[in-house]
Amino acid sequence: MRRLVKQPIESFLSSPTIGRLTQRRVRGKRLILAYHGIIPEGESPAGERALFVTQREFAMHLDILAAEADVAPLDRIDEPGDRRPRVAITFDDAYSGAVNEGVSELVKRGLPATIFVAPGRLNGHVFWWDALSHGSDGLDETVRHRALHELEGADEQVRAWASSAALPLSDALPPYARAATHAELAAALALPGITVGSHTWSHPNLAMLCASDVIAEVRRSRAWLRAEFGDKALDWLAYPYGLDSPEVHRLVAKASYAGALRTEGGWHRSTDVSPFARPRFFVGAHLSVAGLRARLNGASLA
């Protein structure tokens, strides 16, 4: 029922008439989009459904962005742009579908994007949240809370607990829902406009770690990315699970990053937020094409 009500409202808010009235609300602001997985054409949904959009939907998103926004590389998001909305595109987790099909759609349109990678989870890794998600219901919220907070979001700890609690856990996921291989990532980064950033080394909840472990996670990942991909590696971090804290901000700054990203929020001015708490708009299965256009118009639903 909620979806049936939401769709016509989004269609209305995405209209050119509304856009002309509301775009002044986002003038001078920036929007960073946070994608995760891309489902290739002909494949069935798998893993935690909310994190994935279809290749067709993604292509439609990109066509809207190319037509209606100034899509900038992440490390140039704060530079002056044209009069259109200024947007950056990012992916978290380096899912194979994003690194392959997602990047292919970007390159067709000449659009830049940054992929945030946890190097310790590459090469076909199945993330614990996808292994624990079953069907369209997604991950149980009680399980999610325990995994993220009591178990620090650490893959090995979550899997050990799930096994001891006899929770259904399956790694039988299609390739697109697994982490990309090193070779796939290297091929993507050889293409114009595609860069990489740090998602820590092993994707823990940084807000639950001690200072020395936070520093180790963020330094090790950046050092590896620089060694492997040179100037294609940006000094930007995306917080795993979007979870952070003022102390984590301090430690990431101490590690000489240029900025760090959450997975919540939307339009913002860089002068209004900490460079280590930049908001992003999460784009997942919930977002319609009309919803994206409404967001670009500055007329989106809360």
Partnered with residue 71 across adjacent β-strands are 87
Confidence of residue 302 (pLDDT cuts 50, 70, 90): very low
Q: Using alpha carbons, select from 90, 51, 52 the residue that is nearest to residue 260.
A: 90
CATH number of the 2-297 domain: 3.20.20.370
Q: Read out DSSP for 218-283?
A: HHHHHHHHHHHHGGGEEEEEE-GGG---HHHHHHHHHTT-SEEE-SS---B-GGGS-TTSB--EE-
Residue 105: exposure state from Cβ atoms within 10 A (0-12, 13-18, ≥19):
buried
DSSP structural state of residue 48: S
**Is residue 191 a contact partner of residue 197, using CB atoms and an 8 Å limit?**
no
SS3 163: helix
Residue 230 to residue 124: CA distance in whole angstroms:
23
Residue 227: exposure state from Cβ atoms within 10 A (0-12, 13-18, ≥19):
exposed
pLDDT in tens, 97-116: 999 999 999 999 999 999 99
Residue 292 to residue 276: CA distance in whole angstroms:
25
Residue 107 to residue 231: CA distance in whole angstroms:
19
pLDDT in tens, 117-127: 999 999 999 99
Ramachandran sector of residue 92 (left: φ over 0; alpha: ψ -120 to 50; beta: rest): beta
Residue 302 to residue 299: CA distance in whole angstroms:
9
Residue 19 to residue 11: CA distance in whole angstroms:
11
pLDDT in tens, 157-186: 999 999 999 999 999 999 999 999 999 999
Residue 32: pLDDT above 90? yes
H/E stretch holding 196: strand 194-198
Residue 57 to residue 44: CA distance in whole angstroms:
14
Residue ranges of the domains in the chain? 2-297
Partnered with residue 233 across adjacent β-strands are 196
H/E stretch holding 103: helix 103-109
pLDDT in tens, 199-233: 999 999 999 999 999 999 999 999 999 999 999 99
